[in-house]
Amino acid sequence: MSAYSDLIPVNVLTGALGSGKTTLLKALMRAPRLAGTMVLVNELGEVGIDHHLVEHASESTLLLENGCLCCAMRDDLKTALKDLHSRRACGGIPCYERIVVETTGIADPVPIAYTLLAEPVLQHHYRLGNVVTVVDAVNAPAQLDRFEESVRQVALADRLVLSKLDLAGAGALDALRLRLAALNPTAPVLAMDSSDLDPIDLLVTDVYDRRSKSREVERWMRSTREAMTADDGPTGHTGPHPVGDGSHPAGGHGSHPTSIAACCFTFEATLDWTAFGVWMSMLLHRHGDRVLRMKGLLNVAGVPGPVLVNGVQHLVHPPAHLDGWPDEDRRSRMVVISNGLGREEIERSLHAFNAIANPAPARAEAITRGRNPGPDFTDPGHGTARPAFPARH
């Protein structure tokens, strides 16, 4: 089986209708360094075909039996990607190195992520790359107020690209930047018209690309540190970010209010990977529909460098690893972008689960005496675990 880093990245280009996705795509396609990029668009647009290949996919979504909206398999994308891979393997098309999927304006990127991570064939050939969201500097404030899709597109992004900067006033632009940082502090905000807009940074650099993951992690750590410092100063903790004057949630205050916001926290103790997996899988099972994004840089017991985890709603990428820490700070840190989950309850829960893996002597003794509900330390390889009485609520 291929290592996750060796899979072909599928980047998602999204943004509201008229935000400038196609303009950005055309600019990217002119970049010589992005030769070998396959582009999938939803309909025939004005994208010029140069050294890139363009395929077209209609939007049809297959809802899976469990009915979870974020776990809707994109049937069209699945078919298109399988077909592309077959043709690539047969030599029918050039050997592309990455894919860009341009979505419609109201598309939710999560079903695309689900398709890549959960489809039994695709997961062996493709992985999710960057979610690049184009944000219209003029219309975004109103869109974020009115449309939850716009909020989700920002919250799920790995890169935010601001368009129409020349049409937005300086004050409005500053307010928008604050709002974007509140929704998604880890995504760099880039200017579309700027000469600094690096095509490689948009579509190649990510935490799974071996050549660039250190740089990506350093940037990620810097942004979380800034977000935490901005909110709580020296405590190193942060709650949901204030937006503008702090009088309304980051998600919006119009006809579709949401309480989507990011929270960041650090974790002093070394994490037990197994306990962390139990905790995060349980959290995403119960609250995945409210957790838009979860990113963590973890100090895992027994692993010499930091471990990166990256979750999108109910989905989690396979963890990635760095050989060394970017600086002297060895604390684990997490960013959770959610709709209404509080930092303190998340943090407290993680502490409790991590403590199960390393019980203090007093606790181990209490567990042995059956004080704690469900303290089953029976050998799982033999015997049946002893059920305990359920706690009353």
Partner 1 sequence: MCSLCGILGGRGHWTESASSPEVFANRDEAHTPGRERQHRTRILNVVLGHYGLSLSDWTAGKSVLRSATGRSTLVENVGELWPAAERLAGRTLDPLDPALLAALAPPGSGDGPGEASRR
Q: Which of residues 301-360 bind partner 1 (CB under 8 A)?
A: 301-304, 307, 316-321, 341, 345-346, 348-349, 352-353, 355-357, 359-360
**Dihedral angle sign, alpha carbons of residues 149, 22, 41, 309:** negative
Q: Looking at 32-40, 84-92, 132-140, 267-275, which segment touches partner 1 (CB under 8 A)? A: 267-275
Give the residue, chosen from 27, 178, 253, 273, that forms a contact with partner 1 under the rule CB under 8 A: 273
**Could you tell me if 72 and 114 are in contact, meaning their C-beta atoms sit under 8 angstroms apart?**
yes
Which of residues 124, 174, 327, 368 is near partner 1 by CB under 8 A? 124
Interface with partner 1 in residues 207-236 (CB under 8 A): none
Q: Which is nearer to partner 1, 94 or 375 (CB)?
A: 375
Please, what is the minimum distance in Å from the beta carbon of residue 383 to partner 1?
7
Total binding residues toward partner 1, as defined by CB under 8 A? 71
Q: Which residue, 60 or 358, has its beta carbon nearer to partner 1?
A: 358
Show contacts with partner 1 in window 15-34 (CB under 8 A). Answer: none
Q: Exposure string (b/e) for 47-64, b if CB count within 10 Å is 16 or more?
A: beeeebbbbebeeebeee
Q: Which is nearer to partner 1, 32 or 383 (CB)?
A: 383
Q: How many CA atoms lie within 13 A of 263 on its CB side?
A: 20
The minimum distance between CB 3 and partner 1, in angstroms, equals 5
Nearer to partner 1, 28 or 207 (CB): 207
360-389 residues in contact with partner 1 (CB under 8 A) are 360, 362-363, 366-367, 371-389
CA-to-CA distance for 273 and 222, rounded, in angstroms? 24
- Of these, 255, 285, 324, 328, which contacts partner 1 (CB under 8 A)? 285
CB of 367 to partner 1, least distance (A): 8
CB of 287 to partner 1, least distance (A): 7
Q: How far is the CB of 336 from partner 1 (least distance, A)?
A: 12
Task: Report in angstroms the alpha-carbon separations of 232 from 241, 266, 278, 299.
Answer: 10, 12, 29, 22
Residues 104-123, one symbol each (x = binds partner 1 by CB under 8 A, - = not), give ----------------xx-x
Q: Which of 282, 327, 340, 368 binds partner 1 (CB under 8 A)?
A: 282
Residue 99: CB minimum distance to partner 1, A: 19
Judged by beta carbon, residue 41 or residue 110, the one nearer partner 1 is 110
From the CB of 356, what's the least distance to partner 1, in Å? 5
Residue 165 sits at φ, ψ, to 5 deg, of -65, -35
Segment (H or E) for 265: strand 260-267
What is the radius of gyration, based on Cα positions, of the chain? 22
In the complex, minimum distance from the CB of residue 41 to partner 1, in angstroms, rounded to a whole number: 29
As a whole number of angstroms, the distance between CA 186 and CA 381 comes to 42
- Name the β-bridge partners of 266: 333
- Residue 32 CA to residue 97 CA, distance in Å, equals 13
Question: Applying CB under 8 A, does 277 fall inside the site for partner 1?
Answer: yes
- Dist. CA 111–CA 69, nearest whole Å: 8
CA gap 133, 105 in Å, rounded: 10
Residue 45 or 326 with smaller CB distance to partner 1: 326
C-beta closer to partner 1: residue 192 or 315: 315
C-beta separation of 207 from 320 below 8 A: yes
Length of the chain in terms of residues written: 393
The angle, 0 to 180 degrees and rounded to 10, between the axes of the packed helices 75-90 and 110-118 is: 50
44 vs 285, which CB is nearer to partner 1?
A: 285
Contact 216, 204 (CB under 8 A): no
Longest dimension (CA), the chain: 72
Site for partner 1 in 65-84 (CB under 8 A): 66
- Nearest-approach distance from CB 329 to partner 1, in angstroms: 20
Give the 3-state secondary structure of residue 334. Answer: strand
Return the structure tokens found at 241: 């970010």
| C-beta neighbour count of 92 within 10 angstroms | 10
Q: Which stretch binds partner 1 (CB under 8 A): 2-10, 45-53, 80-88, 158-166?
A: 2-10
